[in-house]
Amino acid sequence: MNREIKFRAWNEDHMVYSDNITTEDVYFQFDNGTLKAYYIGDEYDLEAGGMVPTSHEIETPVMQFTGLKDKNGKEIYEGDILRLDSFDPSDYEVKFIDGAFCLCHKNIPYAHDIHYVHHAGNNQATIVGNIYENSELTEQRK
């Protein structure tokens, strides 16, 4: 069984994806068993007398691709907000809990399995945003 393993991270004002890290100023690296994202840039070093390359850890969680796509063919990652056609309430955040991807809503005390995205054989999920770029969607869910 093959599955794509991809990651993304929020880089202060945009998402950075692991499949295009060569074009971004970010790289992904395992550090003591934890995948972290690092920003690459230059900063002034007094001792060196000029600009030197440096890297800083991005202080945001790295989010993993679930292996699923919404009904428009867009890849679903942790942190995405999905709208499910036949659910009430309809908007859910994708989270990774106890080794599994889940659909979570603040007003519901349990998590749904991510496979409800394909409920009854039909893909009913649409990505309507994510927790970083669309905070108004998470506020609506509270």
Q: What is the pLDDT of residues 67-76, one digit of tens each?
A: 999 999 999 9
pLDDT at 22: 43
Cβ atoms 74, 109 nearer than 8 A: no
pLDDT at 2: 67
Please give the average per-residue pLDDT across 123-139, as a whole number.
Answer: 83
pLDDT at 25: 67
- Contacts (Cβ under 8 Å, ≥6 apart) of 15: 8, 9, 130, 132, 133
Question: Which one has a higher pLDDT value, 56 or 7?
Answer: 7
pLDDT at 21: 46
